[in-house]
Structure 1
Amino acid sequence: MGRLKKVTGLSKWCRYLSVFLKKLLNFVTMRRLLTRVINRVLLSELFTPAMGFEAEIHVQGRRRMVVGLGNVGMEGTRHSVGMAVLGTLATRLGVADRWRGDKHVSGEVIMSEVQDTHVVLLRPRLLMNVNGVSVAKAAAKYGIKPEDILLVHDELDKPLGKIGIKHGGSARGHNGVRSCIDCLQADVMPRLRVGISRPTGKTSVERHVLGRFSTEEQKVLDSVLVQSVDLLISQLSQQDSKQDPQSSSSSPAGGRHAAQKTNKRERSASPAEDSAAAAQS
């Protein structure tokens, strides 16, 4: 009799769990569907390329775009670390004072050059979940193909201090990247993923990503920003944008030996690893 009660109790628990999972799945599905609808509404009027000075980027040399994904008004948070990297890149290129708002692309832009490559820096002025709207509008305005758009964003599955290039593929749960894939109707965009680590203890993921870096984390981040910009400039300097997606030809300072040996799809670097590699070279 006691055994029968246990079986009955387990059966009820399984049914409750099944119902809960179905509701959760429905919630996630509806949330993604709603985001797609918002993307479509905001994209209903894509910008037509302008004539004049800005149109020059369409006819002279290669064109690339670097996008710092994040949340408008929350630039200092972990989730907006892509914006921090983009700001550091603008400083390195000597154009940090040229940011200007562009209502046609729902963001702020800078036009610059890296060697013979025209580069558009884009800082979306939208929430992360619809960043793709800004990216798609800018791509249309400047005539830039998805494979020439480099997305910079935070990555929970990498520890703070690690960075890596991912050559297209799924969004891996990142809502900003998912929005870009949805709006561009392509998943070929290379991505610089900047590790922010997963939360510890009872801290929720949402609270973690929307929080700011601690004093100790900021010390690590300062080095990561420099390495990230080194890697971005290396990527932008490559002559062939159609490189083999399974290989990479550049890495942060001191990391070239490891990149040449592994020749893997993804590459990561940290201050500690860079010091070790530099000591061996």
Structure 2
Amino acid sequence: MEDPRTKGQQGGETEATTCGGRAGFPQRDRTTAHDRTRLALPKPEVAGLGNPGLLGTRHSVGMAVLGQLARRLGVSESWVRDRRCAADLALASLGDAQLVLLRPRRLMNANGRSVAQAAELFGLTAEDVYLVHDDLDKPLGKLALKLGGSARGHNGVRSCISCLNSSAMPRLRVGIGRPTHPNAVQAHVLGCFSPSEQELLPPLLERATDLLLDHIRERSQGPLSGT
């Protein structure tokens, strides 16, 4: 199988920009039948939202989940930088399915550009894209997986909704807790986990990975497989 990641492996954007002239991701992909056969397109895409270079912060916990997912699937050393979508990509097998793992190299409020460009590259629809991100409204250690819905104030999710032109993406929300004072929110999300919180992270990342894999397996005979 030709791996579409092998082209454009250098570079990567980190600027905070919008979808930049894109009319939004279409309801169906733009690839031809020939392209789909040539690329042997995998699905689904699992995107860990966050800020590049700030992987240890609460706001980038989605990227930490992707790191654990890659380790579980045996592809932790297989990340490749792809300049076409300004992201790090890894392909992983799960039964008969092949997953696209993605960590954007753009800032959080422009994560959607990377997510949508990778989805277009692999011929995926919004329903094929899992978003993994932090959630202020859930305490640390709490997880929730939902299908679709609003951004709930999360700039990374808002960017994905805008660039994919859809709110149908499944999301795994990872609780990081909300500070008591409203003025402390920015410092909280951009700050690193405290030592006591870091003790909770390994089992949290394991449970998040379990939840993702179980959900993907359950859907493998349904919409994600095209049946």
TM-score, normalised with respect to structure 2: 0.82
8 Å CA contact retained: 1:70, 1:83? yes
CA displacement 1:95-117 (0-9 Å, x = unmatched): 10000100001100001111111
Q: What residue in structure 2 maps to residue 209 of structure 1?
A: 189
Alignment-derived partner of residue 167 in structure 1:
147
Task: Show the counterpart of 2:110.
Answer: 130
Larger Rg, first or second structure (1 or 2): 1
Deviation for aligned residue 1:235: 1.5
For residues 92-147 of structure 1, the C-alpha deviation after alignment (integer angstroms, 9 at most, x for no partner) is 00110000100001100001111111100000000000100000100000011110
Q: Which amino acid aligns with 2:75?
A: V
Q: Distance in 2 between matches of 1:66 and 1:54?
A: 22
Query: Aligned in 2, Cα 1:42/1:129: closer, same or farther, shift over 3 Å?
Result: farther
Distance 2:155 2:182 in 1: 22
Which residue of structure 1 lines up, in the alignment, with residue 9 of structure 2?
A: none
Q: Deviations over 1:166-212 (max 9, x none)?
A: 11010000000000000000000000000000013576110000000
Call closer, same or farther: CA 1:241–1:84 in 2, change over 3 Å. farther
Instruction: Kindly state the Cα deviation for residue 240 of structure 1 after the two structures are TM-superposed.
Output: 3.5
1:59-117 Cα offsets, whole Å, 9 max, x none, are: xxx62010000011111100000000000000000110000100001100001111111
Q: Does 1:41 align with 2:20?
A: yes
Query: Which letter maps to 2:168?
Result: V
State whether structure 2 residue 95 is matched by structure 1 residue 115: yes
Equivalent position of 1:235 in the other structure: 215
User: Where do residues 43-192 of structure 1 align in structure 2 (5 Å cutoff)?
Assistant: 43=22, 55-58=38-41, 63-192=43-172
Cα distance in 2 between the residues matched to 1:198 and 1:92: 29
**CA-atom RMSD, angstroms?**
2.7
Task: Report the 3-state secondary structure (helix = DSSP H, G, I; strand = E; otherwise coil) of the residue aligned with 1:41.
Answer: coil
Residue identity matched to 1:96: S
Work out the CA distance in 2 between the residues paired with 1:151 and 1:174: 12
**Separation in 1, partners of 2:199, 2:183:** 22
Conserved 8 A contact 1:68-1:86:
yes
Structure 2 counterpart of 1:196, from 171, 176, 181:
176
TM-score (norm 1): 0.67
Match of 1:27 in 2: none
Deviation per residue, 1:214-234 (Å, 9 max, x gap)? 111011111110000001111
Return the letter of the residue paired with 1:157: D
The structure 1 segments of at least 4 consecutive aligned residues displaced by more than 6 Å after TM superposition are: 48-54
Contact 1:55 1:142 in 2 (8 A): no
Structure having the larger proportion of residues in helix: 1
Against the structure 1 CA distance between its residues 221 and 242, is the aligned structure 2 distance closer, same or farther, given a 3 Å change threshold?
same
**2: CA distance between counterparts of 1:242 and 1:40?**
27
Percent of pairs with identical residues: 49
- The residue type paired with residue 76 of structure 1 is G
